[in-house]
Amino acid sequence: MKKLLLSAAFSVAAVCSINAQDVQLTLHPNQAETVIPKEIYGQFAEHLGRCIYGGIWVGKDSNIPNVEGYRKDVFEALKALEVPVMRWPGGCFADEYHWMDGIGPQSQRPRMVNTNWGGTVEDNSFGTHEFLNLCEMLGCEPYISGNVGSGTVEEMAKWVEYMNSDTNSTMAELRRKNGREKPWNVKYFGVGNESWGCGGNMKIEYYVNLYKRYNTYARNYGSNRLFRIASGANAGDTHWMDVAMRECRNNMDGISVHFYAVRDWGTEDDPVTGIPMGKKGSALNYTDQQYYEVVSKSLEIEDIIRKHCAVMDKYDPKKRVAIMFDEWGTWYNVEPGTNPGWLYQQNTMRDAVIAASSLDIFHKYTDRVKMANIAQVVNVLQSMILTNEKNPSDPCVLTPTYHIFRMYNAHKEGKFVPGELTCEKIRVNDREQVPVVSQSASVKDGVITLSLSNLDVAKTHTVAVSIDGLKKANILSAEILTAKDVHAYNDFGHANDVQPQAFKDYKAKKDGTLTVTIPAHSVITLQVK
């Protein structure tokens, strides 16, 4: 039965009054073949707002506890998250970044104005060494975005040499002079970022020739082989993908796609400064209707993947070239009183549900989608971690989205388990519907990890789970991320309002099925054997 939300004023009581059918899920672990790459859980760190400075990096001389200049609590939170890959230095910043400004003694590095993001003065104290050493300490792969928009072929070629050459070349010797003997052997390398927009406002017919030129001189050194990533489409721009695949498929290993869940609800001003904040709505204050509209928008990512896969399959039926969703997530108005160019937004249970259902979608298409990097890791957009601008020494805060990524860790490098989900859908408007439940399952070492999200803002749903070949479900672990109010969030002074808890509302039946009861706007993960 479908539920119709007539307006923003549609009441919770009205939603709850509708008698919905239970959800049915059948899983086929014997059909699991495609491995879910750990890189699906990638992060993105741009020189934007307080992501780098005050987020990741405070400097070795800071009175804030740090590890070699990296903010200690943020570093430990990222270490615990088991980040597999991190993209840097942008984003739009990448195509105005000149890497030689960020090497050598920090006191001698030139300053620049970050024209993309708030006109902030960039002192370049966080550069190539600081980023690559961080990745090494975290045990994650670095993903470098090279400058095509305002850089030169020579500049990009020398950067790759500086990072990866173990010879006695000028660039390798310069790296050694700056304190790093061995190369970092960077694998993932992007040739430009959003070349259709802030990376140069190019047409794809122009970019493909630039890509091939720049990519030619990004050399491999020693046994290290670059995984070469082209600047790809803005959301569903299949024309960009078509030309890129036709012209460059033999010269690239991956191509990026960017997608943000953004809705337009009209202009509003910051109540403190009076500055127009945009049309994206509040991260904290939203109606049920607005909740569903943003969730619905986030689910469009599946249709975008399907359309791009269809184009890519024409030119690359063996699926050699990967889709890299290296920017994705929610995007709202900035928090009142903060710099509009810094994109600082809060993070509620709505974002947790969107993160979970988005990861569920990525899992389904990992024959083509090999990486995803949520935007961004600290203090920007749908971040994992928040630090306090007014009181920087306050402990960092872990967002609901952080907890989703941690809860989903068990899916990494498991085999995706196909299945059939039958559930009702909530009618958002004349064109859009939202399923009440999203799910994903994987199997590794004989253990099935099952994640279930209740996208219904107001109603509990019970899921009947049948797993082929399983006579009785033995639950090894189960946890839930939930809150009484969908607007719940973590902040300074109440850092643990939303955090995972043990989950017990499940029952293994004698017929081999498992029933799981999920509260409204909640996410659970169970491990079954």
**Cα angle, residue 70 at apex, residues 69 and 75 outer, rounded to 5°:** 155
Collapse the DSSP code of 255 into the 3-class scheme (helix H, G, I; strand E, B; otherwise coil) and give the result. Answer: strand
Residue recorded with tokens 């399952």: 441
Collapse the DSSP code of 185 into the 3-class scheme (helix H, G, I; strand E, B; otherwise coil) and give the result. Answer: coil
Which residue type does 229 have? I
Residue recorded with tokens 């009142």: 336
46, 141, 161, 194: which one is catalytic?
Answer: 194
Backbone angles phi, psi at 451, to 5 degrees: -115, 135
Burial of 28 (0-12, 13-18, 19+ CB in 10 A): middle
**Radius of gyration for the chain, computed over Cα atoms and rounded to the nearest angstrom:** 23
96, 327, 335, 424: which one is catalytic?
Answer: 327
Decide if 122 is catalytic. Answer: no
**Cα angle, residue 306 at apex, residues 232 and 289 outer, rounded to 5°:** 95
Decide if 194 is catalytic. Answer: yes
DSSP secondary structure string, 442-466?
EEETTEEEEEEEE--SS--EEEEEE
Q: Are strands 268-269 and 254-261 parallel, antiparallel or unpaired?
A: unpaired
Residue 63 has which token pair?
């009175």
Q: Contact at 8 Å (CB) between 523 and 403?
A: no
Residue recorded with tokens 């190539």: 128
**In 10 A of CB 236, how many CB atoms?**
18
How many CA atoms are closer than 13 Å to the CA of 146, on its beta-carbon side? 31
CA distance 244 to 230: 8
CA distance 211 to 250: 12
CA distance 504 to 507: 8
The three-state DSSP-derived secondary structure of 416-441 is ECCEEEECCEEECCCCCEEECEEEEE
At CB < 8 A and 24+ separation, what contacts does 164-172 make?
164/220, 164/221, 164/222, 164/224, 165/221, 165/222, 166/221, 166/222, 167/221
Residues 6+ apart with CB under 8 A from 236: 300, 303, 304, 307, 308
Burial of 166 (0-12, 13-18, 19+ CB in 10 A): middle
CA distance 42 to 306: 21
Strand order in the sheet with 506-508: 419-422, 23-27, 461-467, 513-518, 506-508
CA distance 341 to 334: 8
Q: Catalytic residue positions?
A: 194, 327
